[in-house]
Amino acid sequence: MYSQSDYYDAEYDDYPAQDSYDEYELQNNYYQTNTIPEVVKNFLLYLYESIQKCDVYNIQNLYENSFPKLSETYFEKKEWPDEKEVAELVDKDDLFMTLYKELYFRHIHARIQGGPQFEQRVASFYNYCEFFNIIFLQKPEDLELPDIWLWELVDEFVYQFQNYTQYRARLSDKTDDEIEKLAEPSNTRVWNILCLLNVLHSLVDMSNIKQQLEATAKGEDPNSVAGEHGSLSLYKMLGYFSLVGLLRVHSLLGDYHLAIKILEPIDISKKSQYTLVPACQISTSYYVGFAYMMMRRYSDAIRTFTSILLYIQRTKQLYISRSYQNDQINKQTEQMYHLLAICLVLHPQCIDESIQQMLREKNYNDNMYKMQCGDLEVFRNFFIFACPKFVSPCPPPFDAQDDYVKEPLEHQTQVFIDEVKQQLELPTIRSYLKLYTTLPLSKLASFMDKNERNGERDHDRAVAKLSTQLLCFKHKMNNVVCTKGSGLEGKFQSGSELDFYIDNNMIHIADTKVSHRYGDFFIRKILKFEDLNRRLKKVYP
């Protein structure tokens, strides 16, 4: 049942099951009496025509600008026109209809209050199946879609899986009838994890994207290994975005090793033809950085976060106009600042001045200080705010009345907090070490020992405890750090700003000293001054 061809075959052709569809139509009776507004009709026709002509420039404009605008004007809190009405307009073109329905269901997921109904979720799933069937079986060579659409399609596919899984796990707000529908054997394969993985892996394999990326990295021509479909932009980009999709799926399941491993052929620090969609870039870095943090590779996480946050700072103007993209980017940016703050508490390190500045301006310092003092509640809150929406791949036991939706989140949080607990004393030790260049073990032990000292034995115990903590300090600060190429492999390095060694009973401390950056400050002030001068001259020539 796992071979590629099986999946695209007749397995899903038995849909739609007629009864559930009728019910669904009754609810939407409204549209059968309402005609489509003229502007919308024109939009659809123009989109249809542009897709047929492979006019990518126009498609992108219609997709990125017109569709959100029309959604806002005509369909702010309701569905786009029913598929039957639209089908009449476009000669019932199968490919166009799957694309239209994809937008239709995406709009429902994003805008309709209370979220999509069960039947809509099912229909959306089968619509994706239909779309990928066309891609896999009919292999349309003349279909071209803008990168942004392909990215959002793959990303939405993973998102709806995540959303459905959480919906399925939330049993307490459902009627018996709904639970019965969920548990029906024919419905258990809807948004099944294996289906999702199968589609994403097939897109990756079909496009030879891994081989292409490896060839590019070696300085060879990627087209020589691209194969029949991999050389077409549509397949190539779908393949690339599927790698990112897999990164996300594995992160949602808590499999961070595989998440990073999937991305092996991609060097995320490099710009290329694949990195032209900012939302994809940002999302990739978010999941990569998060996975590194969970793997206790803080150095790599910090590097990933700072580099993407700098990129966002620089390029913000480019996508600020598109509000629907902007919302998600803002949210992810905020989450990454939170994660960066956690990483910097656990693994203090020098980072770019302007990111440091942002952390100060956004008032992270108070909370970072609390975390340094061992406030687990702050760690927990930061983590819960900033982590992805974890899911369980299996349906809950439907006879239970409880909610299972929080279980994966609770597990991931607990494991992370356990890790934090193991290193909770380290910031205190670090704060003492920072004050000295050499420090006898016994002296530091007496600083650390908060109890009243009653004699030799207690003191010995305190020294023994400190020695253990110092070993732990070294163990936790020694991170695997990416060296070259591979994202998964690396060498142990101690990249934190403070390091030490023990020579018999004496601690020798090596700190990182950063001299004040006057130059940067003056350059900025001079530029500002010049700018002011120029403006003044304009006003009083």
Partner 1 sequence: MATKMITTDDGTTMTIPEMLKSIERYNPKHFPFLEKYVQEQAKENTYDLDANLAVLKFYQFNPHMMNLPITQLILLKAITNLPFSDFVLCKYLLLPVQMRDDTVKEIIYIADILEQCDFVLFWQHVQNKDKNELFEKITGFYDSIRKFVCHVVGTTFQTIDKVYLSRLLGNIDDKQLTQWVKKNNWTLSGDLVTIIKQEETIKTKHISEKIDFESLGGLMANCIN
Is residue 517 near partner 1 by the rule CB under 8 A? yes
Residues 191, 157: contact at Cβ < 8 Å? no
CA diameter of the chain:
92
Strand-pairing partners, residue 315, are none
**What is the DSSP secondary-structure string of 351-412?**
--HHHHHHHHHTT-HHHHHHHHTT-HHHHHHHHHHHS-----SS---TT--S--TTHHHHHH
Residue 96 or 164: the one with the smaller Cβ distance to partner 1 is 164
- Give the whole-angstrom CA distance, residue 232 versus residue 83: 29
Chain-centroid distance of CA 78 in Å reads 28
| Sign, Cα dihedral of 483, 304, 290, 358 | positive
**What is the DSSP secondary-structure string of 169-215?**
H--TT--HHHHHHHH-GGGTTTT-HHHHHHHHHHHHHHHTHHHHHHH
Residue 422 or 431: the one with the smaller Cβ distance to partner 1 is 422
For residue 509, the SS3 value is: strand
Is residue 412 near partner 1 by the rule CB under 8 A? yes
- Rule CB under 8 A: choose which of 110, 112, 179, 258 binds partner 1: 258
Q: Which stretch binds partner 1 (CB under 8 A): 32-40, 290-298, 305-313, 378-386?
A: 290-298
Q: Which stretch binds partner 1 (CB under 8 A): 113-121, 144-152, 264-272, 512-520?
A: 512-520
Is residue 185 near partner 1 by the rule CB under 8 A? no
Is residue 261 near partner 1 by the rule CB under 8 A? yes
For residue 491, the SS3 value is: strand
What token pair was written down for 73? Answer: 């004007």
- Give the whole-angstrom CA distance, residue 107 versus residue 126: 16
Single out the residue of 153, 144, 38 nearest to residue 104, CA to CA: 153
Q: What is the dihedral of CA 94, 95, 96, 101, to 10 degrees?
A: 80
What is the smallest separation between the CB atom of 422 and partner 1, expressed in angstroms? 5
What is the smallest separation between the CB atom of 150 and partner 1, expressed in angstroms? 20
Residue 25 or 489: the one with the smaller Cβ distance to partner 1 is 489
- Rule CB under 8 A: choose which of 123, 204, 238, 346 binds partner 1: 204
Is residue 313 near partner 1 by the rule CB under 8 A? no
Residue 278: φ, ψ to 5°: -55, -40
Is residue 538 near partner 1 by the rule CB under 8 A? no
- Rule CB under 8 A: choose which of 26, 318, 514, 539 binds partner 1: 514
153-165 CB burial, b ≥16 within 10 A, e <16? bbbbbbbbbbbbb
Query: Rule CB under 8 A: which of 423-452 touch partner 1?
Result: 437
- Give the whole-angstrom CA distance, residue 205 versus residue 486: 20
Q: First and final CA of the chain: distance in angstroms?
A: 79
Single out the residue of 351, 386, 392, 390 nearest to residue 371, CA to CA: 386
Is residue 170 near partner 1 by the rule CB under 8 A? no
Is residue 189 near partner 1 by the rule CB under 8 A? no
Contact pattern from residue 475 through residue 504 relative to partner 1, giving x for each residue in contact according to CB under 8 A and a dash for the rest: x--x-x-----------x-x----xxxxxx
Task: Give the single-character DSSP code of 82.
Answer: P
Is residue 464 near partner 1 by the rule CB under 8 A? yes
The residue type of 441 is: L
Is residue 471 near partner 1 by the rule CB under 8 A? yes
Is residue 418 near partner 1 by the rule CB under 8 A? yes
- Rule CB under 8 A: choose which of 515, 539, 540, 541 binds partner 1: 515
- Rule CB under 8 A: choose which of 124, 160, 163, 202 binds partner 1: 202
- Give the whole-angstrom CA distance, residue 395 versus residue 335: 28
- # residues contacting partner 1 (CB under 8 A): 68
- Rule CB under 8 A: choose which of 121, 297, 338, 430 binds partner 1: 297
- Rule CB under 8 A: choose which of 11, 94, 214, 407 binds partner 1: 407
- Rule CB under 8 A: choose which of 350, 373, 435, 532 binds partner 1: 350
What is the smallest separation between the CB atom of 441 and partner 1, expressed in angstroms? 11
3-state SS of 5-19 is: HHHHCHHHCCCCCHH
Q: Which stretch binds partner 1 (CB under 8 A): 10-18, 200-208, 317-325, 452-460?
A: 200-208
- Rule CB under 8 A: choose which of 93, 144, 255, 267 binds partner 1: 255
Residue 77 or 535: the one with the smaller Cβ distance to partner 1 is 535
What is the smallest separation between the CB atom of 466 and partner 1, expressed in angstroms? 12
Is residue 354 near partner 1 by the rule CB under 8 A? no
- Give the whole-angstrom CA distance, residue 30 versus residue 8: 34
Residue 141: φ, ψ to 5°: -85, -15
Contact pattern from residue 15 through residue 44 relative to partner 1, giving x for each residue in contact according to CB under 8 A and a dash for the rest: ------------------------------
Residue 112 or 295: the one with the smaller Cβ distance to partner 1 is 295
What is the smallest separation between the CB atom of 494 and partner 1, expressed in angstroms? 7
Angle, alpha carbons 29-35-37 (nearest 5°):
130
Compute how many other C-beta atoms are within 10 angstroms of the C-beta atom of residue 208.
22
The residue type of 204 is: V
What is the smallest separation between the CB atom of 210 and partner 1, expressed in angstroms? 9
Residue 197 or 448: the one with the smaller Cβ distance to partner 1 is 197
- Rule CB under 8 A: choose which of 516, 535, 537, 538 binds partner 1: 516
The contact set with partner 1 (CB under 8 A) reads 2, 4, 193-194, 197-198, 201-202, 204-205, 253-258, 261, 294-297, 350, 392-394, 407, 411-412, 415, 418-419, 422, 437, 464, 467-472, 474-475, 478, 480, 492, 494, 499-504, 508, 510-520, 523, 526-527, 530
